Structure 1
Amino acid sequence: MLRLDDLQLFVRTADAGSLSAAARALDVSPAVASAALKRLEHELEVRLLVRSTRSLRLTAEGEQFLAHARAALRSLAEGREQLAGGKAAISGELRLSAPSDFGRNVLLPWLDAFQQEHPQLAVRLLLGDRVSDLFRHPVDIALRYGIPEDSSLVALPLAAGNRRVLCAAPGYFARHGMPRQPEELRGHNCLLYMLGERVHDRWRFTLGRRETSVMVRGNRVSDDADVVRRWAVAGQGLVYKSWLDVADDVRDGRLQLAMGEYLGEPTPLNLICTHRAQLTRPVRLLREYLQVRCAEVLAKAPW
Structure 2
Amino acid sequence: MVRLDDLQVLVLAAEQGSLSAAARELDITPAVASAAVKRLEDALGLRLLVRSTRSLRPTPEGSHYLVHAKAALAALQQGQQELSRGRQQVAGELTLSMPSDLGRNLLLGWLDAFMARHPALKLRLRVSDRISDLFRQPVDVALRYGVPEDSSLVALPLDTSNKRLLVASPAYIARHGAPQNPAELKDHNCLRFVLGDRVYEQWLFGSDKVKVSGNRVSDDAECVRRWAISGQGIAYKSALDVSADIAAGRLKPLLEGWPTEPTPLYLVCPHRLSITPAVVALKDFLSQQIKQYRQ
Pairwise same-fold verdict (TM > 0.5): yes
Correspondent of 1:290 among 282, 286, 289: 286
Q: Following the alignment from structure 2 to structure 1, what is the Cα–Cα distance between the partners of residues 136 and 84?
A: 25
The TM-score with structure 1 as length reference comes to 0.68
SS in 1 for 2:190: coil
Q: Which residue of 2 aligns with 1:225?
A: 221
Q: Following the alignment from structure 2 to structure 1, what is the Cα–Cα distance between the partners of residues 196 and 169?
A: 27
Q: Following the alignment from structure 2 to structure 1, what is the Cα–Cα distance between the partners of residues 106 and 137?
A: 23
1:224-281: CA deviations, max 9, x gaps?
1111111111110000000011111111111111111112100011111111111111
Structure 1 residues 102 and 258: alpha-carbon distance in aligned structure 2, compared to 1, 3 A threshold:
same
CA displacement at 1:79 relative to structure 2? 2.6
> Do structure 1's residue 169 and structure 2's residue 172 form an aligned pair?
no
1:46-90: CA deviations, max 9, x gaps?
xxxxxxxxxxxxxxxxxxxxxxxxxxxxx99873246xxx4x5x2
Structure 1 residues 142 and 76: alpha-carbon distance in aligned structure 2, compared to 1, 3 A threshold:
farther
1:178-204: CA deviations, max 9, x gaps?
112111111110000011221111111
1:43-62 equivalent positions in 2, closer than 5 A: none
Correspondent of 1:79 among 81, 84, 95: 84
Q: Following the alignment from structure 1 to structure 2, what is the Cα–Cα distance between the partners of residues 251 and 173?
A: 17
Q: Which residue of 2 aligns with 1:102?
A: 102
Contact 1:205 1:265 survives alignment (8 Å)? yes
1:64-75 equivalent positions in 2, closer than 5 A: none
Equivalenced residue count is 217
Q: Which residue of 2 aligns with 1:156?
A: 156
CA displacement at 1:295 relative to structure 2? 2.1
Q: Which residue of 1 aligns with 2:67?
A: none
Q: Which residue of 2 aligns with 1:137?
A: 137
1:242-253 equivalent positions in 2, closer than 5 A: 242-253=238-249
Correspondent of 2:236 among 235, 240, 249: 240
SS in 2 for 1:191: strand
The runs of 4+ residues in structure 1 deviating greater than 6 Å are: 75-78
Q: Which residue of 2 aligns with 1:124?
A: 124
Q: Following the alignment from structure 2 to structure 1, what is the Cα–Cα distance between the partners of residues 155 and 237?
A: 21
Q: Which residue of 2 aligns with 1:66?
A: none
CA displacement at 1:296 relative to structure 2? 2.7
Q: Which residue of 2 aligns with 1:185?
A: 185
> Do structure 1's residue 259 and structure 2's residue 264 form an aligned pair?
no
CA displacement at 1:156 relative to structure 2? 1.1
Q: Following the alignment from structure 1 to structure 2, what is the Cα–Cα distance between the partners of residues 172 and 125?
A: 35
Q: Which residue of 2 aligns with 1:215?
A: 211
Structure 1 residues 261 and 78: alpha-carbon distance in aligned structure 2, compared to 1, 3 A threshold:
farther
Q: Following the alignment from structure 2 to structure 1, what is the Cα–Cα distance between the partners of residues 232 and 187?
A: 14
SS in 2 for 1:119: coil
1:100-129: CA deviations, max 9, x gaps?
111111111110111121222211110111
Contact 1:78 1:281 survives alignment (8 Å)? no
CA displacement at 1:91 relative to structure 2? 2.1
Q: Following the alignment from structure 2 to structure 1, what is the Cα–Cα distance between the partners of residues 239 and 196?
A: 20
- Unpaired segments of 5 or more residues in structure 1? 2-74
Root mean square deviation, CA, Å: 1.8
Q: Following the alignment from structure 1 to structure 2, what is the Cα–Cα distance between the partners of residues 144 and 77?
A: 33
The TM-score with structure 2 as length reference comes to 0.70
Q: Which residue of 2 aligns with 1:11?
A: none
- Unpaired segments of 5 or more residues in structure 2? 2-79
Greater Cα radius of gyration, structure 1 or 2: 2
Percent identity between matched residues is 53
Q: Which residue of 2 aligns with 1:47?
A: none
SS in 1 for 2:231: coil
Q: Which amino acid aligns with 1:150?
A: D
Q: Following the alignment from structure 1 to structure 2, what is the Cα–Cα distance between the partners of residues 241 and 78?
A: 43
SS in 2 for 1:138: coil
